[in-house]
Chain A
């Protein structure tokens, strides 16, 4: 029998505010345990939550970007359950009336674009962290994360393959970063995904029983966890059994999902409107103000980059996926007055690998767009060769000054003195007679070796094209 899988995703987007959703405690990552958990976050009696304006604005910005409806009035509710990482005994979330309802994202699939509907997006507070190791059989609780603002984005079960799930997630990831509402750091848990997965015979209209997969916090794990789960469910059904509705945890080391028994019975959250929090109101006027400040969205950015610059499709896609990278690119092109393809190569090549090596984001790059533009200018006007440019780039990276200072101080200017190059070429021709014979015999490739020797002799400062021409001329005469 041919099977079809049905996937819906719930993504927890951690909003990039400075302070918590309902308290003035810091949300900075990596602080000592419980030093950023105030009375509200740890649920002391007598405290009251006060809503963070920025979190509301971010949620509204997201709603506008997915073409969803922003509810003028939305309601916070208590989701009741007992777990030590949530000391109040309930999580403040939104239930009946979320801040955003409806909306969609378009994804690319091998069969063309598909629209994935978004059911809703609601604001809620994050829970703390439980640490299960090394506490003499006890569990350690760090409440620094408790109260961090989250936007939970729930999709309709519109996804039909693990690849589509990943495409949707990547699209969402790009969007929330472009909107500057989330840093998107999956290692630090700023963008977390649960997947509802079920299977059914192809052509069947009714949905199968679903399992909820948790703990799949990388694009690769999402794909692998869903693949495993589809196979498991088909196996269960083909063996005559039936799929049980349950929560399953993905184990990336063993590449399988396993049932999370124990948390099941308490799935009765008894939601009710939180009496501490009157309804959240977003007026039309406020919404208009948010709309007027919307940044360029990823799809529009891709279209514009692809049409305004000479870029390959791949390069345009990579740049549009990261608005900071795209901004850097456009500023560098402006500084160099063109050369978009060359600049894209530098950004996606040398610059990106240097940033990766030191785990820096583009906004932390020691090389500014203006510096890169200037470097490109010096290649263009033949002051330096592409090879020397890499050396200058290394010096720029290590803060050794501006492009022209580095070139001047280290004497890197390309040798334009033809006599000097000519002498170096003559020396190489004398030093490598057998290679010279090969070239004369028509082995064109060997010219590269001779050019390399001249470049070495001139410490890379000769223009490789000029050297190449000169060798050809000298050997053909």
Chain B
């Protein structure tokens, strides 16, 4: 099923990307191409193949439960647009 203009607008909104009207056809074509590629994969027979969650055959490395991080708030907040009382300030999210 080809990607519609609505699909592009919706995905862009979910990803918080600003896409102009003029750019929509370009994204439609690009996403269609990606889905065509995935459609080719669908043609392979995978009935007896276990799905994998990661391209490498490795398992998750675990670390011991120890506090190893120091407070670096001042350093991190140097690049924040607005801070107050140690809090990051952002535009109001709930009315």
Chain A contact residues, CB within 8 Å of chain B: 17-19, 23-26, 32-39, 42, 44, 50-56, 73, 75-76, 80, 82-84, 89, 97, 130-132, 135, 137-143, 262, 266, 268, 270, 273, 275, 277-281
Determine which of B14, B58, B67, B92 lies in contact with A25 in the assembled complex, contact meaning CB atoms within 8 Å: B67
A84 near B93: Cβ-Cβ < 8 Å: yes
Asked if A53 and B87 make an inter-chain contact with CB atoms under 8 angstroms apart, the answer reads no
State the CA gap A51–B95 with chains docked (Å). Answer: 36
Q: A138-B90, A275-B54 are in contact. Are A19 and B60 (CB under 8 A)?
A: no
Residues of B within 8 A of A (CB): 14, 16, 53-54, 56, 58-69, 71-73, 76-77, 82, 84-95
Once the chains are docked, how many angstroms separate the CA of A84 from the CA of B81? 13
Question: For A142, what are the chain B residues with a Cβ–Cβ distance below 8 Å?
Answer: 86-87
Candidates B61, B68, B82; contact of A138 at CB < 8 Å? B82
In the complex, which of the residues B53, B63, B77, B89 contacts A97, with contact meaning CB atoms closer than 8 Å? B53
CA of A17 to CA of B66 in the docked complex: distance in angstroms? 9
Taking A24-B68, A138-B91 as contacts, is the C-beta distance between A51 and B60 under 8 angstroms? yes
Contact indicator A19/B14 (Cβ below 8 Å): no
Q: Which chain B residue shows the least CB distance to A143? A: B88
* B60 adjacent to A83 (CB under 8 Å): no
User: Which residues on A sit within 8 Å (CB–CB) of B92?
Assistant: 132, 137-139
CB pair A18–B91 under 8 Å, yes or no, is no
Q: Which 8 A-B pairs have CB atoms at the shortest separation, nearest pair first? A: A24-B68, A140-B87, A54-B65, A33-B86, A53-B62, A281-B59, A38-B69, A75-B53
Q: Contact: B59 with A53, CB < 8 Å? A: no
What total of A-B pairs shows CB separation below 8 Å? Answer: 130
B53 neighbours in A (Cβ, 8 Å): 73, 75, 97, 273, 278-279
Contact of B54 among A38, A54, A279 (CB under 8 A): A279
Contact present for B67 and A24 (CB under 8 Å)? yes
- Which listed residue (A33, A97, A131, A277) contacts B60, Cβ 8 A? A277
A128 to nearest B CB, angstroms? 9
* Distance of A75 Cα from B59 Cα, bound (Å): 10
Q: Is the interface of B mostly helix, strand, loop or mixed?
A: loop
- Closest Cβ of chain B to A276, distance in Å, is 10
Q: CB distance B63 to A50 under 8 Å?
A: yes
Nearest-CB distance from B10 to chain A (Å)?
8
Closest residue of A by beta carbon distance from B61: A50
- Do A24 and B66 have beta carbons less than 8 Å apart? yes
Residue among A17, A19, A83, A131 facing the most chain B CB atoms (10 A cut-off): A19
- Please determine whether A34 and B67 come into contact, CB atoms closer than 8 angstroms: no
- A142–B73 CA distance with the chains assembled, in angstroms: 11
Nearest chain A CB to B4 CB, angstrom units: 16
Question: For residue A19, which residues in chain B have a CB less than 8 angstroms away from its CB?
Answer: 65-69
Verify B59–A278 contact, CB threshold 8 A: yes
The residue of chain A having its C-beta at the shortest distance from the C-beta of B50 within the complex is A73
Interface pair B64/A84, CB less than 8 Å apart: no
Subset of 23 A-B contacts with CB under 8 Å: A18-B65, A18-B67, A19-B66, A19-B69, A38-B69, A51-B60, A53-B63, A54-B65, A80-B14, A82-B16, A84-B90, A130-B94, A138-B82, A138-B91, A139-B90, A139-B94, A140-B84, A141-B88, A141-B90, A142-B87, A275-B54, A279-B59, A281-B60
Known pairs A26-B67, A36-B71, A53-B65; list 17 more (Cβ under 8 Å): A17-B65, A19-B67, A19-B68, A24-B66, A33-B85, A35-B73, A52-B62, A84-B93, A131-B87, A138-B90, A139-B90, A140-B84, A140-B89, A266-B14, A278-B60, A279-B53, A280-B59
Residues A52 and B65 in contact, CB atoms below 8 Å apart: yes
Taking CB atoms, residues of chain A closer than 8 Å to B76 are: 34, 37, 39, 42, 44
A454, B72: Cα distance in complex, Å: 68
Asked if residues A268 and B89 are in contact (CB atoms below 8 Å), the reply is no
How near does chain B come to A226, taking the closest CB pair, in angstroms? 24
Q: How far is the CA of A44 from the CA of B59 in the complex (A)?
A: 24
- Complex Cα gap A56–B71 (Å): 26
Contact B56 A278 (CB under 8 A): yes
Chain A residues within an 8 Å CB radius of B64:
53-54
User: In the complex, A44→B44 CA distance in Å?
Assistant: 39
Question: Which residues does chain A contribute within 8 Å of B59, judged by CB atoms?
Answer: 73, 278-281
Q: Identify the interface centre among A32, A82, A137, A138: most chain B CB within 10 Å of its CB.
A: A138
With a cutoff of 8 Å between Cβ atoms, the chain B residues found around residue A135 in the complex are 84, 87, 89
- A277 contact set on B, CB distance < 8 A: 54, 60
Chain B hits for A42, CB < 8 A? 76
Q: How far is the CA of A38 from the CA of B16 in the complex (A)?
A: 25
Bound CA span A216–B92, Å: 23
CB distance from B46 to the nearest CB of A (A): 16
Would A51 and B90 count as touching, CB distance under 8 A?
no
B54: chain A residues at CB < 8 Å are 273, 275, 277-279
A101 to chain B, nearest CB (A): 16
Residue in contact with B63 in the complex, picked from A52, A137, A141, A262, CB distance below 8 Å: A52
- Give the residue name and chain of the B residue nearest to A132 (CB): B94
**Is there an interface contact between A24 and B87, defined as CB atoms closer than 8 Å?**
no
Report A-chain residues with C-beta under 8 Å of the C-beta of B56: 278
Question: In whole Å, how far is A99's beta carbon from the nearest beta carbon of chain B?
Answer: 11
Which residue of chain A has the shortest Cβ distance to B57 in the bound complex? A278
